[in-house]
Structure 1
Amino acid sequence: MQKLKIQGTHFKKEISCPSCNSFFSIDYFCPDGHTPSVRYSDGQTDITDIIDPKPLKRCAHCGFVIPVEFNTHKKVSREGLGPTTTVKNSDDSTDIATILDPYLYAIVYKKMLHPGGEFLIRKHIWWLLNNQQSSRGSLSFEHHQIQQENLHGMLDLIDKHRINAPLIKAEAFRNLGQFGKCLATIWSLPPGQHTEFVDKLSVECKRENHHRIIISEPS
């Protein structure tokens, strides 16, 4: 994914732990008047790392794992313009295991997550490993296995809990090489909706390409 410098504003957000009811604040960066210019088939954009930061927080009081939807949690203060921020590839300066290991730990101990929270974490694992593959050209055997198991887990969640995510479901099928199921999913979408996504995934399925693709970008 390309790097992009964006000016924005820092906020603090108030989080309530659902386990012990303790309150704490987290910092959040909100871009100023910027819309994505590049969209990817897994749902990411060129500013995903800024508008949808890493979602896993652990309560400092009881250790409960909290999946945070940054765009819905309450803003409690505004701190003014922050420094220019750069979207980074997954292998820039941070060991992937530093981010990945807490995600995997949270999924293993599912009693700490509700289905929507697990889906959010699995989506970010998917994105993290897709970014790693794009930046390095391939995944290690271990990360490839994690990606495959994670995609199956995400699809199970979508079906079992009736999560409304048809585009993610279609792309997950394609990433797994299940091109027929991908096509069946996108062809079941209401006519006239997500036409660019449907057209491009149809072409890639016929090519039997399972890698993430760009759906739209500046001409």
Structure 2
Amino acid sequence: MADQGITAGAGRPAFLDPASHDAVVESLSQRQADGIAAWAALSAAIAEPVMTERVARAGHALVSSLAAGGTLLVCGNGGSASIASHFAAELVGKCIHDRAPLPAINLAESPTVMTAIANDYGHDQTFARGVAAHGRPGDVLVAMSTSGRSRNVLEGLSQARAHGVTTVLMTGAAGEQMHDSADHLLAVPSQDTPRIQEVHLLWMHVWCEAIDVLGYGTS
């Protein structure tokens, strides 16, 4: 008996069979509809004055640091690490307007550094060592953990505060109680990892656009 996901005798996934086209389109359409519905609910929640104020305060801490010559450190695991790369790229490069480059370091960027630290000191220290190496008083660390419980992220935040680095933790509903872990806690009211990361990306773009529009980094 063939596996349910494989076309019998063909050795190919069923979705490659032209006969399954309608089912695939229906599934994708439903997923898109579900995502839009989830975003509609999230949009209302993150537009609440309390949340917009928190995002603005965290953004103000970031732009104030950059304006004073500080550096953005950013970290996260998996999908959050890719957002960290995106964030650093927007500052070293640009978001929407040309300007002078701004200093930003993604602590998860180098697999060589990450694996060396994990091998020698343990995975929990992968971001803490980077913060100790690069962080200076007045810098900002933006850390992302959809669960709010990633040990290497929490260790990085702890190291940052010990070095006088302002800390921002972007997380989801599960991390809403982590107020003691960071100076600024931004918790997306959702348990759905893709939606949480999409909101983190939105906030990152809001900050980057504001930096460009306000002229931070302009020579």
- Give the TM-score of the pair, scaled to structure 2: 0.28
Work out which of the two has the higher radius of gyration on C-alpha atoms and give 1 or 2: 2
Q: Which has the higher strand share?
A: 1
Q: Which has the higher helix share?
A: 2
RCO comparison, higher one (Cα < 8 Å, 6+): 1
- Give the TM-score of the pair, scaled to structure 1: 0.28
